[in-house]
């Protein structure tokens, strides 16, 4: 086989491969497109744009390790035995009450609250939602089972020094945006009564600080177990906080 023949064979190989691949790719492209669209414009002058949502959501996973001293383990009310005469009311901020009388429940020494900070540089409104509402959290024939929350401000300095309880959720000054005289925190217990997925108000105008401080708020949890509560396996609730940019 002379050099010319060799060259022609290789050239033919390259051309056939090149052409075959291109044709195949074009055919595949046609097949893929017809699955999705039936018609399109003829111009190829596409321009893309990306819009980043003004909301971000954080799912609180209470089994994490390595958290700060405020929140180092589950808020676990333990196993509770209903009273015959009156409802059991137990709140997370009574967790260090070692006598057990506050709830007839076995849980003890769990974190008093969930601590959420604003570590960014934009003020935010915060909502909270649960994947388990009060009806599913406690099975009861009556309507007095409750699983709820409330919030307060919490603030620490740059070195985690003593809390000062300033900043955190501040009443919005712009009544056109915010709900008039509504408080910045949820000062009374609110029951997660509604269907899961509903976003409940948690903190209005969680401020940010350029001075190294970390404005924050705390969420306390509350459970009311009625006298007719039915026994159940352990029930857990996953809390999702959503922060929305205030612009």
Partner 1 sequence: MKSAYVILIAIALVPLIASITYLGYQRSLIVEVKEIEMALEVSTIYGFNVNSSRLNLGTLPQGGHAYRDFTVVNNGESTQNIELAVSGPMKDWTTLSYERFVLGPGMNQTVQANVHVPGNAEMKEYLSTIYVIYKKAHR
- What residue ranges bind partner 1 (CB under 8 A)? 1, 6, 9-10, 13-14, 17-18, 20-22, 25-26, 29-30, 32-33, 36-37, 40-61, 63-68, 71, 114-122, 124, 126, 206, 214, 241, 243-245
Which residues, in sequence order, are bridge partners of residue 243?
56, 126
What is the closest distance, in whole angstroms, from the C-beta atom of residue 92 to partner 1 in the complex?
A: 16
Distance (Å) of CA 131 to CA 183, 191, 240: 25, 13, 8
CB of 38 to partner 1, least distance (A): 11
**Smaller CB distance to partner 1: residue 68 or 198?**
68
Q: Count other C-beta atoms under 10 Å from residue 35's C-beta.
A: 6
Distances (CA, A) of 62 to 1, 85, 115, 134, 246: 76, 33, 11, 19, 28
CA dist 82 → 85, 88, 109, 220 (Å): 9, 7, 21, 22
Closest distance between partner 1 and the C-beta of residue 147, in Å? 21
Cβ distance to partner 1 smaller for residue 65 or 181: 65
Question: Least distance (Å) from partner 1 to the CB of residue 29?
Answer: 7
Nearer to partner 1, 150 or 218 (CB): 218
Task: Sort 233 into a burial class: Cβ within 10 Å, 0-12 / 13-18 / 19+.
Answer: exposed
Q: Which is nearer to partner 1, 115 or 150 (CB)?
A: 115
Nearer to partner 1, 42 or 233 (CB): 42
């Amino acid at each position: 086989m002379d050099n010319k023949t060799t060259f022609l064979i290789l050239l033919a190989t390259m051309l056939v491969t090149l052409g075959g691949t291109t044709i195949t790719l074009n055919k595949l492209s046609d097949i893929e497109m017809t699955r999705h669209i039936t018609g399109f414009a003829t111009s190829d002058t596409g321009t893309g744009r990306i819009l980043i949502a003004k909301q971000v959501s954080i799912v609180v996973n209470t089994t994490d390790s390595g958290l700060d001293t405020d929140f180092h383990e589950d808020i676990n009310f333990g196993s509770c035995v209903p009273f015959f005469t009156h409802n059991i009311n137990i709140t997370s901020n009574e967790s260090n009450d070692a006598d057990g009388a506050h709830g007839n429940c076995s849980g003890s020494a769990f974190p008093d609250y969930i601590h959420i900070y604003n570590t960014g540089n934009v003020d935010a409104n915060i909502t909270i939602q649960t994947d388990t509402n009060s009806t599913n959290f406690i099975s009861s024939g009556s309507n007095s089972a409750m699983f709820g929350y409330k919030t307060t401000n919490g603030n620490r300095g740059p070195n985690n020094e003593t809390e000062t309880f300033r900043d955190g959720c501040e009443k919005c000054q712009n009544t056109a945006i915010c709900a008039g005289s509504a408080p910045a925190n949820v000062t009374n217990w609110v029951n997660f009564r509604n269907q899961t997925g509903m976003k409940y108000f948690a903190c209005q105008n969680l401020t940010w600080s350029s001075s190294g401080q970390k404005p924050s708020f705390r969420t306390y949890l509350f459970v009311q177990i009625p006298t007719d509560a039915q026994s159940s396996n352990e029930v857990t609730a996953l809390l999702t906080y959503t922060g929305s940019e205030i612009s």
